[in-house]
Structure 1
Amino acid sequence: MRTLSLAVMMAVSPFAFAAEGMWTLDNLPLDTMKQAYGFDPNAKWLDHAMKGAVRLAGGCSGSFVSKEGLVLTNHHCVIGCVQDLSSKQHDYVNNGFIAGNRGEEKQCPGMEINRLESTTDVTERVQKATAGLSGKAYNDAKKAEQSKIEAECAGKQSATLRCDVVELYQGGVQHLYKYSRFQDVRLAFAPEYDAGFFGGDPDNFNFPRYNLDMSLLRVYQDGKPVKVKNFFPINPAGAAEGELVMTLGHPGSTQRLLTVSQLETQRDAMLPWRLMLAHEFRGLLLQYSNQGEEQARIAQTDLVSVENGIKARTGMFQALLAPEVMQDKRDAENALKAWVAEDEQRRQRYGNPWADIDAAQKTMRDLYMDYVMLEGGLGFQSQHLGWAETLVRGAAERAKPDGERLREFAEARMPAVRAGLLAETPVYPDYELMRLTWSLAKVREKLGVDHPFVRQLLGKDSPEQVAKRIVEGSQLGDVKLRESLWEGGAKAVDASSDPAIVLARLIDQQARQIRQRYETEVEAVEKRGAEQLAAARFALKGTSVYPDATFSLRLSHGVIRGWEEKGEAVPPFTTFEGLYARATDFDPFKLAPSWVSAKSKLDMNTKFNQVSTNDIIGGNSGSPLINAKGEVVGLVFDGNIRSLGGAYFFDEAVNRTVSVHSAAIQAALDKVYAAKHLSKELFGK
């Protein structure tokens, strides 16, 4: 019985350690935090924390750090904005950007920032709408009800409010998240690439690190900086080794509650292929970059993203290849199965969701290539086609009642879709031609020459000929044309003969068929089964279990602490002295000129980067690292190499969060960049 009880505990939370967990603010492990740190946050503290943290809708986190709407986040989270604002004449990516005053702050095209205002449990309402249903009927009913809830929440205020129904515990709990929506976001400061990405790919997901991976944005409303009551002051003293620190951020996705068969699908079918594709694309980008300085500038941000993805997915893949990891997952699953099976009432209530999910994996493997190439967009890497697909699908969906639309085109989400479509982003024809030619060739390779869609797509043409027809013939680079087509709706889009739109119609027809099969035969089965598994877990442990990450606000607690690697202690801090010792005359360890000239002004003992035991994942980038007083003591930007298995489990002994120390932020603004106006706003000096 004792062995079973331990196994059942593992079924709920394998590798359970004190610092594990990405917790929603309404369900924090308060007893653990009080016992471990003597910290017991009250409702006022939690409300302040919720409203001080923000989400960059494109996939990162941040926080308000001044009453004038200044937002602290990572450089790599705003690099897309910096790239869009750059040109051959003004290379802000490599030379950095400092707005001398607020009038010089530049709006980031299409960027949206969200601040969480409240959460509401709508589980009962969604479950009532789906009671007794399965398959397509279940999926349709659930999504229709979710869209209805979101529309009711935003009402006529969708320009300034964003409402998302978030599925927690694999759909076992449904919460409505109500956000303030800010779409006027301006860049105030970004360091040079050589400072924000010092060490490049070799140092990525490693420690020691010496990165100033920070940037400052400002949120505007009605043309003026937004006034905020809840923000986190920055404490340049930082936190001591062993001190409590918390992240407040929006982790994107974890898979800690997936079944073994779902993990095997990722290990055997998804991750290996995505890695092969990414390596090939990386080679293509390097080849293009070697053509000249301007080509290198154009491809730079995509190359950083691809290399980061390769390293992250490699870590995930290696975690699932480890026999002990998969065995622990099997043991946990078998223990929960045994707990259900030992009682007749449990068997009746929870059924056998594992068998249903297992059966859906065969379909998933059969569909995966078609799905990611067509519906996932990997086969059509092109700005022109991205705009065209939004116009074509958006026109069709907006003509439907809100509850019948695809979720991404629900009425409550229209402001973000429209802002992205109409963002003033540059187009580089040669780069566009290169990417689209390659991706069309991958469609032909992966789907096969005789695939009916491939025949329609290419006919007698080569991928390069089709790509050239799109790049040279499409007029969608004109934002006014995109706006007129969007406003004109289905009639205007249907009448368009733009080659990108013509091709998007063909893609949309095929992609919808693949998506419908996926949603009916895979997604609906997995989500229904996950709800049953969640119910079983709740019956066993209640909400003492944290949910998987869903790009919703979470708190992770931990302490400043190094770790031991191969018998050697890894200290928790690095300093400016280490930066200059690591620097060379060659990329990626070449110092930015501003840091070369500032050396004599800097205290070499100033802490630069640090590690802590917080539990994070992608999406946490830009999260504030705060102390018990609610002061920023660091800026999260990475994990160590041991954290790459964090999608599936957490091990406090070696998993570490990497952040920029608050002292480095102050020193950089004061002494390296002479940004006195920003330093005064942040530090009162």
Structure 2
Amino acid sequence: MLKNTTLSLLLCLPGFALAAEGMWTLDNLPRADLEQAYQFKPDQKWLDHARLASARLAGGCSGSFVSPEGLVLTNQHCVIGCVSDLSSPEHDYVNNGFLANKRQDEKQCPGAEINRLESVSDVTGRILKVTNGLTGKAYNDAKKAEQSRIESECVAGAANTVRCDLVELYQGGVQHLYRYTRFQDVRLVFAPEYQAGFFGGDPDNFNFPRFNLDMGLLRVYENGKPARIKHYLPIKSAGAEPGELVMTLGHPGSTQRLLTAAQLETLRDVMLPFRLMIGYEYRGLVTQFASESAENARIVRSDLTNIENGLKVRSGQFKALLNTEVLTKKRADEASLQAYVQSDAARAAQFGNPWADIAAAQAIARQSVVRYQMIEGGLGFASTHLNYAKSLMRAADERQKPDGERLREFAEAGLPAVEARLLADVPVYPNYEKLKLGWSLTKLRERLGTDHPFVQQILGKKSPQKLAAEIIEGSHLADPKVRKALWEGGQAAVAASQDPAIMLMREIDPVARRLRAEYETEVESVEKRAAERLAAARFAQKGTTVYPDATFSLRLSHGVVRGFDEDGDTIAPFTDFNGLYRRATADEPFNLAPRWTAAQSKLNLATRFNQVTTNDIIGGNSGSPLLNANGEIVGLAFDGNIHSLGGAYFYDETQNRTVSVHPAAILAALKTVYGADKVVKELTVR
């Protein structure tokens, strides 16, 4: 439960922004606050440099360019998927770490993509023009078609090197087009052992003090050579001191601070409990598989980390929404805005009652969201083989349509990313696949009911485990050559395929598409249409002094190095290497990687290791550089404390903290623990 007093909580919710609150777009920074509090006035040159030095990992993380030769600094947990894909029983890079001492030793990450933001333009007018007066399916179709047209125009035939994303800000009230340079040749340079990057495991996750070298290094290539990068960030080994201005520059994934009370109630009552219940069962399944052998443990290490992290995040969000003060304040904010709208006849006519429309959509969402998630969301079909089958089938069908009529994820502008993920040569493990698919089919039957027509259609007289075994043992989709042939063969090749995964997907896809169309029409389009009016009403009342929710687009948050109070104890803002060795035991998750045991006598144990700051971040910010006013890296964000888990819905400066790796620890570990002298030299060249 949240421990804030009512007053402090209310002061920290949207509309009562404190100094450190907000994930701000670079074109709408709280300049007055920055100047008044820190005497910091970033000019356009500073902002352009910061934007071009920032990197977005398309898989869901942030990073930064840190050398003129394409070196990218991010988190270990952001590259562990690549590390896992490159690992084998003979080369266990997950548990032993990876270091490329020479350029030719750098290994390409299958399917990876890094983006650099080049420009942002406002296309709100175009979207509003084509959707004017429309509702329901007509609104949804018109909006998506125009978004795809805008993205395709932006890419203009250069989809292999250019990425364009339509970003909806203020719940759709503002539509911006983000144009990126796309780097699809991404290679692994360094990753520490899992035990060093995630020391303390789940018990320490979202807590502080922390002792993690959660860092990784990638390199982007162009035409087979390291990309030449003009804008990159220097590292300041001394870091920052308590009270000093620090800024995260990254790509926060998603917040829901502008949702209505009715939407938050749906999250609290239906969506979060459902995802938590199924998530805990899934963790038990994967944990048991891992316990059966060392090889099984290696196979699922990355998955298990992600599962446990997701559970902790959702648990924190659920607890936050159980606090009645959160929804009480949300309803008060809504009442204030409603009073503003209704106090003027012209405003009342212009904005109407979007709250009622959203509330009506929630009644439908509550009834349909579990079925939607199990079938269209894929929770009832947890299998890499079926994911491949779904992508192949849908891509084959959608590529036959005009761009504006396709499902958004298969729009022409985004196809290179779809193709790269689909054709990536990554290991697929049959026993693990059968276990996951058999379990998820069991959950499908359990959630929908044995007599549900769809369950009968899929399972027939077979058990979930028997059907899973037939699919996995008979499918050839684990072979990237087979997938490549089907991708290139298009609709005819996919239609002729007798692969059991594709044959099962033929049974699933029509139902999944229908559920998706219904949900988009009856829930999402209603929410988005109403959200546009809410955004317009907020703009009329407050302008852009309210920051937009996170959308995995570039944001800056400002704060200071500062500890916090926990149950009457003051938590200092820094940890050091000495604390790591004091905390270490002989058993997981507090056992040291062998290199760290051997290096103890060589390290300066007073070196700062991890630190906390008041920056406002959320998932997706992992790997964000922590910058000082000079644009120097003074930390590498990798986590938040336990109080930050409510950050999806509100921010509390008294306790919400960002956890980052101190730059002194990064450089000392690379040099002394790993002997990565060439990497250190590259990182420290100005």
- Where on the TM-score scale, by shorter chain, does this alignment land: which range? over 0.9
**For the Cα contact (< 8 Å) 1:387–1:476, is it kept in 2?**
yes
The superposition leaves residues 507-526 of structure 1 with CA deviations (integer Å, 9 ceiling, x where unpaired) of: 11110000000000000000
**Corresponding residue number in structure 1 for 2:3:** none
* Residue-by-residue CA offset, 1:395-424 (whole Å, 9 max, x unaligned): 111110000000000000000000000000
Q: What is the rounded CA distance, in whole Å, between the counterparts of 1:462 and 1:369 in structure 2?
A: 22
2:523 alignment partner in structure 1: 522
- In 1, the alpha carbon distance for the partners of 2:477 and 2:566 equals 52
Letter in 2 for 1:266: L
Matched, 1:371 2:391: no
Q: Secondary structure at the match of 1:217?
A: strand
- Shift of the 664–10 alpha-carbon distance from structure 1 to 2, 3 Å rule, reads closer
Which residue of structure 2 aligns with residue 583 of structure 1?
A: 584
Letter in 2 for 1:490: Q
Gapped runs of 5+ residues in structure 2?
Answer: 1-6
SS at match of 2:189: strand
What is the match of residue 143 of structure 1? 144
Q: Secondary structure at the match of 1:334?
A: helix
Partner residue, 1:263: 264
Is it true that 1:488 corresponds to 2:489 in the alignment?
Answer: yes
Q: 1:607-666 CA deviation, whole Å, 9 max, x = no partner?
A: 000000000000000000011111111000000000000000001111000000000000
Partner of 1:599: 600
Alignment correspondent of 1:316 = 317
Q: CA deviation at 1:548?
A: 0.2
**1: CA distance between counterparts of 2:382 and 2:73?**
31
CA distance in 2, matches of 1:473, 1:73: 39
The answer as to 2:667 corresponding to 1:671 is no
For residues 52 and 565 of structure 2, what CA distance do their matches in structure 1 show?
Answer: 36
RMSD: 1.2
CA contact (8 A) 2:614 2:658 kept: yes
Counterpart position of 1:326:
327
DSSP 3-state at the match of 2:438: helix
Q: CA deviation at 1:11?
A: 12
Q: Which runs of 5+ in 1 are unaligned?
A: 1-5
Offset of 1:566 from its aligned partner? 1.8
1:128-277 alignment to 2 at 5 Å?
A: 128-277=129-278
Specify the alignment match of 1:512 in structure 2: 513
1:572 paired residue number = 573
Equivalence map 1:535-574=2 (5 Å): 535-574=536-575
SS at match of 2:167: strand
Q: Within the alignment, does 1:73 sit opposite 2:74 as a pair?
A: yes
- 1:482-534 Cα distance to aligned partner (Å, 9 max, x none): 11111111111001010000111111111000000000000000000000000
Aligned letter for 1:403?
A: G
Would you say the 8 A contact 1:11–1:331 is kept in 2?
no
Q: Please tell me whether the aligned partners of residues 381 and 436 of structure 1 are also in contact (alpha carbons under 8 angstroms).
A: yes
Equivalent residue runs for 1:77-116 within 5 Å: 77-116=78-117
DSSP-derived class of the 2:27 partner? helix
The structure-2 alpha-carbon separation of the partners of 1:11 and 1:334, relative to structure 1 and needing over 3 Å to count, comes to farther
Q: Does 1:418 align with 2:422?
A: no
Deviation string 1:552-580 (CA, Å, 9 cap, x unpaired) is 00000000011111221111000001000
Report the Cα offset of residue 684 of structure 1: 3.5
Alignment of structure 1 residues 34-49 onto 2, 5 Å = 34-49=35-50
Does the residue aligned with 2:585 lie in a helix, a strand or coil?
coil
2:667 is aligned with what amino acid?
Q
Cα distance in 1 for residues equivalent to 2:132 and 2:346: 19
Amino acid aligned to 2:281: E
* Secondary structure, aligned partner of 1:185: strand
Task: Give the secondary structure class of the aligned counterpart of 2:119.
Answer: strand
- 3-state SS in 1 of match to 2:653: coil
Look up the equivalent residue of 1:256 and give its one-letter code: R
Which residue number in structure 2 is paired with residue 399 of structure 1? 400
- Cα distance in 2 for partners of 1:112, 1:78 equals 12
Structure 1 distance, partners of 2:80, 2:448, is 34
Name the SS for the 2:247 alignment partner.
strand
Deviations 1:133-182 (A, max 9, x none): 00000010000000000000001111000000100000000000000000
Name the amino acid aligned to 1:46: L
CA contact (8 A) 1:14 1:328 kept: no
Alpha-carbon distance, 1:478 to partner:
1.4
**SS of alignment partner, residue 331 of structure 2:** helix
Equivalent-residue separation in structure 2 for 1:219 and 1:544 (angstroms): 37
**Equivalent position amino acid for 1:526 in 2:** E
SS at match of 1:162: strand
Instruction: Tell me, in whole angstroms, the C-alpha distance in 1 between the residues paired with 2:111 and 2:586.
Output: 37
Aligned to 1:657: 658
Q: Is the 8 A contact 1:380 1:436 kept in 2?
A: yes
CA distance in 2, matches of 1:352, 1:433: 49
Relative to structure 1, the CA distance from residue 10 to residue 121 in structure 2 (aligned partners, 3 Å threshold; closer, same or farther) is farther
Equivalent AA in structure 2 for residue 336 of structure 1: L
| AA in 2 matched with 1:497 | Q
Task: Say if 1:11 and 1:333, in contact at 8 Å, map to a contact too.
Answer: no
Letter in 2 for 1:78: V
3-state DSSP of counterpart to 1:449: coil
User: 1:337: Cα distance to partner?
Assistant: 1.1
Residue type of the partner of 2:523?
A: V
Preserved CA contact (<8 Å) 1:288 1:295: yes
Cα distance in structure 1, aligned partners of 2:110 and 2:422? 10
| Cα shift at 1:326 | 1.3
* Post-superposition CA distance 1:451-499 (Å, at most 9, x none): 1111110011110111111110001111111111111111110010100
In structure 2, what is the equivalent of residue 503 of structure 1? 504
Asked if the contact 1:251/1:616 (under 8 Å) is kept, the reply is yes
Is 475-484 or 654-663 further displaced after alignment? 475-484
Amino acid at match of 1:60: C
Q: Tell me the residue number matched to 1:438.
A: 439
- 8 Å Cα contact 1:56-1:112 kept in structure 2: yes
Cα distance in 1 for residues equivalent to 2:245 and 2:322: 34
Asked if the contact 1:385–1:500 (Cα under 8 Å) also holds between the matched residues in 2, the reply is: yes
**Match of 2:380, SS?**
coil
Question: In 1, Cα distance between the equivalents of 2:12 and 2:427?
Answer: 49
Give the SS at the match of 1:649.
coil
Structure 2 contact 274–370 (Cα < 8 Å) conserved = no
Question: In structure 1, what is the equivalent of residue 280 of structure 2?
Answer: 279
1:202-225 residue CA offsets vs partner (Å, 9 max, x unmatched) = 000000000000000000010000
Following superposition, the deviation at residue 119 of structure 1 comes to 0.1
3-state DSSP of counterpart to 1:25: coil
* Partner SS state of residue 26, structure 1: coil
Residue 430 of structure 2 corresponds to which residue in structure 1?
A: 429
After TM superposition, give the deviation of residue 341 of structure 1 in Å.
1.4
Partner AA of 2:590 in structure 1: F
**TM-score, length of structure 1 as denominator length:** 0.98
Q: Distance in 2 between matches of 1:608 and 1:263?
A: 37
The aligned counterpart of 1:353 is 354
1:470 maps to which residue?
471
CA distance in 2, matches of 1:381, 1:187: 28
Residues in 2 aligned to 1:232 and 1:96: alpha-carbon distance in whole angstroms: 25
Q: Distance between the aligned counterparts of 1:479 and 1:332, measured in 2?
A: 52
Q: Which amino acid aligns with 1:574?
A: T
- CA separation of 1:350 and 1:678: change in aligned 2, threshold 3 A: same
Q: 1:10: how far off?
A: 8.0
Query: How far apart in 1 are the matches of 2:601 and 2:16?
Result: 47
Residue identity matched to 1:177: Y
- What's the % identity of the aligned pairs? 66
Partner of 1:3: none
CA contact (8 A) 2:95 2:194 kept: yes
> How far has the Cα of 1:12 moved from its partner?
8.8
Give the whole-Å Cα distance in 2 for the aligned partners of 1:325 and 1:121.
33
**Secondary structure at 1:659 match in 2:** strand
Counterpart of 1:290 in structure 2 is 291
